[in-house]
Amino acid sequence: MPTELSPIDTAKFVAAKQACEYVESGMKVGLGTGSTAAWLVQCLGELVRDEGLKIQGVPTSSRTAKLARDVGIDVITLDEAKWLDVTIDGADEYDSELCLIKGGGGAHLQEKVVATASDRMIVIADASKKVDTLGAFPLPIEVLQFGARTTEELVVETLRNMDVLGRDVSLRMAGDAPFITDEGNFIFDLHLKRIGNPRQMSLALNQIPGVVENGLFIDICDVVVVGHASGQVDVRDITNGTSEVIRFDVQDDENIFADLAD
């Protein structure tokens, strides 16, 4: 791949690189899904190949599983792992309390199961993912195919009582056909614009028959690692109440990205 990256990819890379500091040999690591998480998997693969890092990875999607195997990470299932030391994943949005919206890649069900079965969840993101209030990014919910339209009507009815600015619901498509998750379900995207009470929203949605899981991650994320195009990385640990700034020199090292596949 070319050694020069776009500003957004540089930000994702340095966030992923810094997140690798949370991983040690012998750990069982949840591996997220999405473009930022893909950088993490590649960075971990580089450590496995070049520095002898020994980890077992639990992927959150079939796409991540393939990438992890391709870069040399030992892949196991969550049932085999039973419990994880850390999960590292991206986010579509996060707020000041480290509440998240996830699911833009259609894997939030597995991502939430894996993150919840971990001692810590680390979120890696670029600065654009920080919001004052969740909801600008459409909130995904995974629903059973059986009775999906009935479930949609129940969701619309539930939204009438929620503190939101929009109430449009759309079935996620993959070309001319509905998008199908790894579990064989549909996804509805809720275009809410603003979610006044994410905790209430999450509880209400998961009470609807037919809804398998929603993309709100509440009280799950422990640390957010935010990358910038300049090479700066901001690390905020909500558990310890600490913040830190790290700087990577991305200008002088022409080969910093050379070993990473696209």
Query: Binding-site residues, please?
Result: 33-36, 89-92, 102-105, 129
What CA–CA distance (Å, rounded) separates 45 from 39? 10
* Known binding-site positions for substrate: 33-36, 89-92, 102-105, 129
- Of 24, 46, 51, 111, which residue is the catalytic one? 111
SS3 15: helix
CB 125 within 8 A of CB 150: no
What CA–CA distance (Å, rounded) separates 49 from 54? 10
Handedness of CA 112, 114, 115, 119 (dihedral sign): positive
What CA–CA distance (Å, rounded) separates 31 from 38? 9
**Closest by Cα among 156, 145, 146 to 189:** 156
What CA–CA distance (Å, rounded) separates 219 from 98? 8
Q: Let me know if 111 is a catalytic residue.
A: yes
Instruction: Please give the positions annotated as active site.
Output: 111
